[in-house]
Amino acid sequence: MKVAIVGASGAVGQEFLRVLDERNFPLDELVLFGSKRSAGTKYTFRGKQIEVKLLQHNDDFKGVDIAFTSAGAGTSKEFAETITKHGAVMIDNSSAFRMDADIPLVVPEVNAADAKDRPRGIIANPNCTTIQMVVALKAIEQLSHIKTVHVSTYQAASGAGAAAMDELYEQYRQVLAGEPVTVEKFAYQLAFNLIPQIDVFMENGYTKEEMKMFNETRKIMHSDVKVSATCVRVPALRSHSESIWVETERPISVEEAREAFAKGDGLVLMDNPEKKEYPMPLFLAGKDPVYVGRIRKDLSNENGLTFWIVGDQIKKGAALNAVQIAEYLIKEKAL
Ligand code: 2RA
């Protein structure tokens, strides 16, 4: 098995190296690709140094079985043909193809089998906020169809990349040192602040990030659910949190929901208010599952249920989900 990582130096690219190793992914050879900026950099994988190659339009992907790509939508679009033309399956973390009808959009806990039908050799990894939300929604959907979702996200700096995480650290240092604050990766200073804008605004007043949650959720869940989202950047480092309200076809009790979350694939129930136990991003960075807590009946709607989730954005929100897709294909002999 020959595996490629495109965008190896980014936050998600680096996480791919860790996740592949951690999960004992069955690979014989790993090749790394990057931009001019990262070409030549060496990373250690399973005791061996691997040099990042410059991503170019050539035959470097000949013999590659799986290519994990995380170098932005522009690069994915430009290089999709080069990457897939010799038969590699491209598992793409960018937004380039997510809503294309002939590209499966996959969260293994929810719609793994969709990954088998990929006429263009490309499988899209959903947006991080959608991935962690649908893992939780799946548990409820199995009890009763979800008609509507209202969600507010609390998205960590990691969603904007490795340099943005560094900027957040630096901003805290600058504020505490009384120095001018550097703002490059975010629209405003994020340290000691919240920014209710992620990605650009659309004509309907929602941001692109918020519309991703609407559209991607429907595609992954094969559902007519309507998702109304408010996405907010918060000064946490790498786990995204979400406050979710669902309206189901029939009323769901807290006990039923709790049981469904406890046994849900990829979920960990962390809901013990008396002991102040609930998921928090600071303590869940680097963890695989999506954590659920604060489960309550909605007070304004008999069919409403509300809860809180936290998931590591770089892991389940990106690299881990993509690797799980690959693991599924290997298990099903569907590469
Ligand atoms: C963010 N959703 O958190 C993005 C990353 N994919 O900014």
Q: Is residue 162 a part of any domain in this protein? A: no
Match 């960075």 to its residue by tokens: 285
Same domain, 117 and 211: no
Same domain, 112 and 3: yes
b/e burial code for range 241-257 (CB count within 10 A of at least 16 → b): bbebbbbbeeebeeeeb
User: How far separated are the first and last CA of the chain, in Å rounded?
Assistant: 11
- pLDDT, tens digit only, all 335 positions of the chain: 999 999 999 999 999 999 999 999 999 999 999 999 999 999 999 999 999 999 999 999 999 999 999 999 999 999 999 999 999 999 999 999 999 999 999 999 999 999 999 999 999 999 999 999 999 999 999 999 999 999 999 999 999 999 999 999 999 999 999 999 999 999 999 999 999 999 999 999 999 999 999 999 999 999 999 999 999 999 999 999 999 999 999 999 999 999 999 999 999 999 999 999 999 999 999 999 999 999 999 999 999 999 999 999 999 999 999 999 999 999 999 99
Q: Any idea which residues carry the catalytic annotation? A: 128, 240
Q: Directed axis angle between helix 320-331 and helix 11-22, to 10°?
A: 40
Beta strands 29-34; 53-54: pairing state: parallel
The residues, ordered by sequence, that sit 6+ positions from 278 with a Cβ below 8 Å of its Cβ are 270, 271, 272, 293, 294, 308
Structural domains counted in the chain: 2
Same domain, 118 and 231: no
The CATH number assigned to the domain holding 80 equals 3.40.50.720
Same domain, 201 and 89: no
Distance CA 294, CA 269 (A): 10
The closest of 282, 288, 285, 279 to 320, measured between CA atoms, is: 288
Same domain, 201 and 280: yes
Same domain, 69 and 138: no
Which ipTM was obtained for this model? 0.96
Substitution site in 69, 70, 105, 128 for ligand 1 pocket (most atoms within 8 Å of beta carbon): 128
The CATH number assigned to the domain holding 143 equals 3.30.360.10
* Residue-wise pLDDT tens digits, 249-293: 999 999 999 999 999 999 999 999 999 999 999 999 999 999 999
| Contact assessment for residue 31 and residue 7, using Cβ atoms and an 8 Å cutoff | no
308: enclosing H helix or E strand: strand 304-312
Same domain, 5 and 90: yes
CA 216 / ligand 1 centre spacing (Å) = 14
Radius of gyration for the chain, computed over Cα atoms and rounded to the nearest angstrom? 20
Same domain, 205 and 146: yes
Same domain, 271 and 322: no
Q: Is residue 173 a part of any domain in this protein? A: no
Residue 95 assigned ligand-binding role: no
Q: Is residue 164 a part of any domain in this protein? A: no
Q: Is residue 9 a part of any domain in this protein? A: yes
Residue 309's DSSP bridge partners are 242, 292
Q: Which residue has its alpha carbon closest to ligand 1 atom 5?
A: 159
Same domain, 107 and 141: no
Domain membership of residue 91 as a residue range: 1-124+317-330
Backbone angle region of 312, left / alpha / beta, with phi > 0 → left and psi within -120 to 50 → alpha? beta
| Contact assessment for residue 151 and residue 243, using Cβ atoms and an 8 Å cutoff | yes
CA 90 / ligand 1 centre spacing (Å) = 20
Same domain, 208 and 134: yes
Distance CA 314, CA 49 (A): 23
Distance CA 303, CA 146 (A): 10
- Kindly state if the Cβ of 95 falls inside 6 Å of ligand 1: no
Beta strands 226-233; 290-297: pairing state: unpaired
The closest of 150, 333, 145 to 223, measured between CA atoms, is: 145
